[in-house]
A and B are shown apart, each in its own frame.
Chain A
Amino acid sequence: MRRLKLAFIVIFIGISFLSQAQSPGYMGKKAALSIGASVSPLMGWLFSEEEIYDLNLKFNLRFEYVVARRIALGIQYERINDIIYLKNYGVTGSNPLIDLSPNGSSQSPAEFKSAANFYGNSYSGFVKFYNKGFGSIAPVGRYFILEAQYSSVIVSDDGRYYNGNPTELHRLNTMTVLLGVGIENVYFDHLTVDLSLNMGLNGAGIRGIQNEKDYFEAGGNNMTRQIESKMFSDYIMLMRANVGWLIF
C-alpha cells in the first residue's frame, strides 16, 4: 500500500512538473470540472431491440487536467440509470419471471413485456490529444479522446413482480474502450463547452452480439444476452456534451 502511495505521489509530481513546463492551459488555467450527458440514439433500436426513440441517457461528472500543450488527462464518473425491457420474459402466477424462450428462439411475450431497472456506475480515465493540425491547444479546439471505462451494472426488478421485494436479476462488471473526436471551447474565460462523438467497444457487449447459438452454448441465456447487447449499443456510438468550469 505504501508503495502504491509513493508511486501515486511520484506520478502526480511528474505530471505537475510536465504540465508546468510545457502547457499553457487556458490563460494559465488547466483544471476543469464539468458535468455532462451522453446519448446513443438509434443504436439500441439497431442492436438491442430497443425503441427507436430510446436515447439511453447517462450523466457524468468529469475532472480533467491539462498536462501538456496538446494533452489533457481526466477522470470521469458516469451514472447509468435506465430501463431494460426484457422481451422474452413474462409473468405468470407464483413464478413471476419466466423465460419464454428457453431454447433461445426469440418470441414475443404472451401478455406484456417485463421492464427492469438497468443502473450502475462507470468510472473511467481518459486522455485527450488536441490536434496540432487544427491548431488546437489544450483545452481549446478539436481533439481525439481515448477512454477506458469500467462499468458495474445491475439489472433488477423494482419489486412489482416479486411481491414487493426488489430483486437483482443480473449483475455485470465490464470494461469499455472508447475512441472519439470532439471539440471544446471556452466562453467567458471560465465556462467550457465540450462536444464529442465516441465509438466504444464494450467487452460484454461484444460477447452479447455474437452468434446466438455460440452464446447459448457458452452458458448464456436470453436475459444476459439482451443486457449485454444493450451494453454494446449504449457505447458503440456515444454523443457526449459537457459543460464545465475552469477551476485553476
Chain B
Amino acid sequence: MTLAKSIFLYLFLLVSLAGVAQDKFVFEETKADGDIPIDFITLLSDKYKNDVSTIDKKEKKKARKTKTQFYLESNFYINEVISSGNVLFNDRYTTYLNNIYKEIALKNPSLHREKIYFYAAKSTEVNAFATHSAIILINVGLLAKLTTEDEIAFVMCHEIAHVVKKHNIKQHIFNEEVDKKKGGYKKANWETKLYSKSNYSKKQESQADGFGFEYFLNTDYDPKAAISAFEKLKTANLPYGDSLEIPSLAPIKTQLVDVPEVPNLADIQIEEEEEERENKSTEKEKKKKKKKKKKKKDLSTHPALDLRVESIQVRINQVESNSNYSRTPNEVNKYAEHELPHLFLEKGMEVHTLYCLLNLMNESEPTDYQKDLMAKTLYALSQRKTYIEEYPDSVTSSYKKYWSSYKRQIKKGPKSLNRLLAWVNSMSNAQLNALALSHTLSRIKKVEDGGEAMTDRTVDLLEEYYKFYSKEKAGEEVIKMILKSDEHLLARAQKSNSSTDENNVVEPLENMIVLSPEYRQFDLRDEEVYKYVSSEEELISFSKKIEKAADMLKIDCNIISAIDFKNYTVEEFNELVLINQFLRENQITTPNCISSKKVEMRKLSEKYKTNNLSMMGVYSFVESKPVVLKVFALTYTTLIFPLLPFGVYYSFTPLRHTFNYTLLFDIEREETNYYNVNLIKMKDRRGAVNVSLYDHLKQLKDRGR
C-alpha cells in the first residue's frame, strides 16, 4: 500500500511538474538552422541559365527576349531578398509551413510536379508572396495575425495558385506590352496604362483566389477559414486586433531611483481629429475625398476584400456539406506574436513594439524576454524623444522627419496605437526617461547576458534624469544619492564620462569585418539598365580583391558576403542576419541610443576581435556622351587635324564613371568613423578598382599615426 501511495505521489508530482513546464513559454528570437538550402547557395547566373533553358525555342524572338529579361530580373530580386538575411530556413516557421504544404500537396496530386518550397520571412507586414521560381515567402507578420492553420493553408493555396498559373511572368509580359504600346495600347496615356496594369493584376488575384480555393477545398481544412482569413486581412496594419483593453505601464519601484508618477493609459483621450475634420468638411470636400479614395482603390493591385469574400462565399455555398470542421490552431502563432516586437523595434517603430509587448504581457505573466524588450523599447523611445526635443534642430532634422512621418502613419491607423502615442506624448522627457530608467534598472544583473548593455543604458538614462533635475534646480542630491548607493553604476558612470575623450582617439585599422561587399554595374544606354549577371561575377572577384588588399596591408579581414553562402555555415549566415538587423536599427534610431542588439554584437566583436565593421562597394556606370560634346570634339580635332583620331575615339566611346566607397562603422560606439567615396572617371577595370580600394584601406591603416 505504501508502495502504491509512493508511486501515486511520484506520478502526481511528475504530472504537476510537466504541467508547469508546459505553461512556461520560453521564447528566443528565431534563427535559421541546419544546412543552408540550395536556393540560397545557387548563384544568380546559374538560376538564370536554368530558367532560360526552359524557354521554348519555337517562340517568337521578341517573346523569348521578354521572358529572358524577366528571368534575369526576377532571379536577381529573389537573390536580393534571400541574401538580405530576412528569409529563414530550417526554422520553426519554415518547417511548419512546409508541413502544411505536404498536407495540401497530398490532397492535390496535380501539385506533385511543382517544386514549391515555402520560406518564412522576418517581416512585420501581414503579407505573403510567390516568385516565379516556386519559392513562396510567408511573412512572420501574417503568421502572427492568422490564428488557425486552416487560414494559413488558404493563404498558401492562394500563393500556390499564383505559381501554378505563372502569374508573375504573365504580368511582366503584359506590363511590357502596355509600356511599349503594343496591341490595343498604341494610343494609351500613362493613366490608362496604370489602370490596365492594375486591372490585370486584380484579375490574376481573383484567379488565384478561385484556383487556390479549389486546392483548399480538396484538403481537410475548414473552407470557411478562407472568409476569416480575409476578415483578418482587413486590419492588416495591426498585428493583433484593435484592442483598447491593454493595461497601462507604471514605473517599477526600486530603492535606487525615486521616479515620478506617469499618466495612466486608460485616462488618455484620443483626439479624434480625423472624425471632427470629416464632420466639419463641406459636401464638396467630402466628394473630393471619396473620389480620391476610389481612385486609390481602382489603382490597387488587389480587388477589394469584400468582393473577394463574396466570391469565395458563393463557392462555399455551392459546395457546402454537413461535415463539421474543427479548425487546427496555428502552432507557431505564439512564437510569431513574440517575434513581432523585436522586428518592430529594429524598424524604429517603438509605439508598435510597445503595443505588441503590452498585449503579450496582458495575456500572461511577463517573461524575461518581454521584460527585457520592454526596457529596451522604453529606452529607445525616451532617448528618441529627448534627442529630438532637446538637441538643436540642425542635428536632429532627419530624425524629426522620421518621427513625424511615423506619427502620421500611426494617426492613420487604429485607435489603440493612437492612444499609446498620445500617452507617450503626454509624458515629459523626464517622466519618460524615469519610466525607462526604472524598467532598465530592473533588468540589470537579472539578465546575465544583457547585464553590461543594460547597465550602459541605465547610465545614459541617469544622465538624462540628472539633467532634468538640474534644470528644475531640485533633486540634485537625489541623483547623487542614487549613484552613491550603487558602486557598480557609479563606476560605470565615471568610466563613461572619463572615457569620452579616449574613445575619440582614432587608431590604425588592424582587423575588420567586411559586410556583404557590393558591386553594381549600370549601362544607362541600354533598356536593361542594370547589368545583373556581370555585376554578380564582378562581385565575386571584388571580394577577393578586398582580401588581397587587406592581406597586403596586414589587416585581418573577415568577409561575410551574401553572395558566397556556399562556403558558409548557418552560424555565419545568422551573423550576417544579426549585423543587418543591427545596422537597420542603427539607421533609424537616434545616435544617443544603444542598439537593442548590443549584447549579441559585442559577442560578435569578441569573436572576430574587432569593433570595426566595414562596408565596401563599387558602382559603375556607362552612359552616352552629350551630342554637343561629340560635335565639339570632332570640330576641334578636325581643326588641329593631327589630333583627329583622338576626336573620333572620344566621340564614339561612352562616358564611364566608377564609384568606389568604403565605410567603417564602429560597433561599440555605434557610429560611422570613416567614409570615403572615390569617383574614378574610368571604366571599372581591375586596376582602377584595386588602386582606389587599396588607397582607402591604406588611409585606414595609417590613421592616427
With a cutoff of 8 Å between Cβ atoms, the chain A residues found around residue B598 in the complex are: none
A133 and B680 CA atoms in complex are apart in Å by 8
Chain A residue at minimal CB-CB distance from B698: A24
Chain B residue at minimal CB-CB distance from A27: B694
- Check if B3 is an interface residue, CB within 8 A of chain A: no
- Check if A62 is an interface residue, CB within 8 A of chain B: no
Q: Which of A117-125, A134-142, A210-218 contacts B (4 or more CB under 8 A)?
A: A134-142
How distant is A142 from chain B, measured CB to nearest CB, in Å? 7
Chain A residue at minimal CB-CB distance from B641: A42
- Check if A189 is an interface residue, CB within 8 A of chain B: yes
- Check if B682 is an interface residue, CB within 8 A of chain A: yes
A8 and B223 CA atoms in complex are apart in Å by 93
A136 and B658 CA atoms in complex are apart in Å by 11
How distant is B396 from chain A, measured CB to nearest CB, in Å? 34
Q: A24-B698, A27-B552, A135-B678 are in contact. Are A141 and B690 (CB under 8 A)?
A: no
Chain A residue at minimal CB-CB distance from B640: A237
**Across the interface, do B687 and A140 meet the contact criterion of CB distance under 8 Å?**
yes
- Check if B55 is an interface residue, CB within 8 A of chain A: no
How distant is B509 from chain A, measured CB to nearest CB, in Å? 14
Mark contacts of A14-51 with chain B using CB atoms, 8 A cut-off: 1 yes-contact digit, 0 otherwise: 00000001001111100000000000011100100000
> With contacts defined as CB atoms under 8 Å apart, how many contacts are there between chain A and chain B in the complex?
74
Interface centre among B678, B686, B698 (most CB of A within 10 A): B698
- Check if B371 is an interface residue, CB within 8 A of chain A: no
With a cutoff of 8 Å between Cβ atoms, the chain A residues found around residue B552 in the complex are: 27-28
Mark contacts of B511-549 with chain A using CB atoms, 8 A cut-off: 1 yes-contact digit, 0 otherwise: 000000000000000000000000000000000000011
**Across the interface, do A27 and B642 meet the contact criterion of CB distance under 8 Å?**
no
Chain A residue at minimal CB-CB distance from B659: A135
**Across the interface, do A141 and B694 meet the contact criterion of CB distance under 8 Å?**
no
A142 and B656 CA atoms in complex are apart in Å by 13
Partner of A185, one of B679, B681, B687, B699: B687
- Check if A53 is an interface residue, CB within 8 A of chain B: no
With a cutoff of 8 Å between Cβ atoms, the chain A residues found around residue B643 in the complex are: 197, 237
- Check if B675 is an interface residue, CB within 8 A of chain A: no
With a cutoff of 8 Å between Cβ atoms, the chain B residues found around residue A186 in the complex are: 686-687, 690-691
Chain A residue at minimal CB-CB distance from B689: A140
Interface centre among A137, A141, A185 (most CB of B within 10 A): A137
Q: A27-B548, A187-B686 are in contact. Are A137 and B642 (CB under 8 A)?
A: no
Q: A41-B642, A186-B690 are in contact. Are A69 and B685 (CB under 8 A)?
A: no
How distant is A214 from chain B, measured CB to nearest CB, in Å? 27
**Across the interface, do B694 and A135 meet the contact criterion of CB distance under 8 Å?**
no
**Across the interface, do B691 and A28 meet the contact criterion of CB distance under 8 Å?**
no
Q: A27-B690, A42-B642, A189-B690 are in contact. Are A134 and B702 (CB under 8 A)?
A: no
How distant is A179 from chain B, measured CB to nearest CB, in Å? 15
**Across the interface, do A135 and B681 meet the contact criterion of CB distance under 8 Å?**
yes
With a cutoff of 8 Å between Cβ atoms, the chain A residues found around residue B687 in the complex are: 26, 140, 185-187
Q: A26-B687, A140-B688, A142-B681 are in contact. Are A21 and B694 (CB under 8 A)?
A: no
Interface centre among B641, B691, B702 (most CB of A within 10 A): B691
How distant is A242 from chain B, measured CB to nearest CB, in Å? 15
- Check if B171 is an interface residue, CB within 8 A of chain A: no
- Check if B27 is an interface residue, CB within 8 A of chain A: no
Q: A24-B694, A140-B688 are in contact. Are A135 and B679 (CB under 8 A)?
A: yes
Mark contacts of B457-473 with chain A using CB atoms, 8 A cut-off: 1 yes-contact digit, 0 otherwise: 00000000000000000
Number of residues on chain A facing chain B (CB within 8 A): 27
Number of residues on chain B facing chain A (CB within 8 A): 26
With a cutoff of 8 Å between Cβ atoms, the chain A residues found around residue B685 in the complex are: 185, 187
With a cutoff of 8 Å between Cβ atoms, the chain B residues found around residue A133 in the complex are: 681
- Check if B599 is an interface residue, CB within 8 A of chain A: no
- Check if B41 is an interface residue, CB within 8 A of chain A: no
Partner of B680, one of A24, A135, A187: A135
With a cutoff of 8 Å between Cβ atoms, the chain B residues found around residue A136 in the complex are: 680
Q: A27-B691, A141-B688, A186-B691 are in contact. Are A134 and B681 (CB under 8 A)?
A: yes
Q: A42-B641, A135-B678, A185-B685 are in contact. Are A197 and B646 (CB under 8 A)?
A: yes
Chain B residue at minimal CB-CB distance from A69: B695
How distant is A14 from chain B, measured CB to nearest CB, in Å? 18
A189 and B438 CA atoms in complex are apart in Å by 60
Chain B residue at minimal CB-CB distance from A183: B682
A42 and B642 CA atoms in complex are apart in Å by 6
With a cutoff of 8 Å between Cβ atoms, the chain B residues found around residue A21 in the complex are: 702
Interface centre among B679, B687, B698 (most CB of A within 10 A): B687
- Check if B692 is an interface residue, CB within 8 A of chain A: yes
**Across the interface, do A26 and B646 meet the contact criterion of CB distance under 8 Å?**
no
With a cutoff of 8 Å between Cβ atoms, the chain B residues found around residue A69 in the complex are: 695
How distant is A171 from chain B, measured CB to nearest CB, in Å? 29
A164 and B4 CA atoms in complex are apart in Å by 135
With a cutoff of 8 Å between Cβ atoms, the chain A residues found around residue B553 in the complex are: 28
**Across the interface, do A135 and B692 meet the contact criterion of CB distance under 8 Å?**
yes
How distant is A156 from chain B, measured CB to nearest CB, in Å? 29
- Which residues of A in the span 128-152 have a Cβ within 8 Å of any Cβ on B? 133-137, 139-142
Q: A27-B548, A28-B552, A141-B688 are in contact. Are A237 and B694 (CB under 8 A)?
A: no
How distant is A48 from chain B, measured CB to nearest CB, in Å? 14
Mark contacts of B301-342 with chain A using CB atoms, 8 A cut-off: 1 yes-contact digit, 0 otherwise: 000000000000000000000000000000000000000000
A197 and B649 CA atoms in complex are apart in Å by 14
A137 and B552 CA atoms in complex are apart in Å by 18
With a cutoff of 8 Å between Cβ atoms, the chain A residues found around residue B699 in the complex are: 24
**Across the interface, do A141 and B682 meet the contact criterion of CB distance under 8 Å?**
yes
**Across the interface, do B680 and A27 meet the contact criterion of CB distance under 8 Å?**
no
Interface centre among A134, A135, A197 (most CB of B within 10 A): A135
How distant is B323 from chain A, measured CB to nearest CB, in Å? 72
Q: Which residues of B contact A (CB under 8 A)?
A: 548-549, 552-553, 641-643, 646, 658, 678-682, 685-688, 690-692, 694-695, 698-699, 702
Other CB < 8 Å A-B pairs besides A42-B641, A135-B658, A141-B682, 7 of them? A24-B691, A24-B698, A25-B694, A27-B549, A43-B642, A137-B678, A140-B688
Of the A-B pairs whose beta carbons lie under 8 Å apart in the complex, a sample of 12, sorted by A's number, is: A27-B690, A28-B552, A28-B698, A134-B682, A135-B679, A137-B692, A140-B682, A140-B687, A140-B691, A183-B682, A186-B691, A189-B690
Q: Which residues of A contact B (CB under 8 A)?
A: 21, 24-28, 41-43, 46, 69, 133-137, 139-142, 183, 185-187, 189, 197, 237
Q: Which 10 A-B pairs have the closest CB atoms?
A: A186-B687, A135-B680, A24-B698, A140-B691, A24-B695, A42-B642, A134-B681, A135-B679, A185-B687, A137-B691
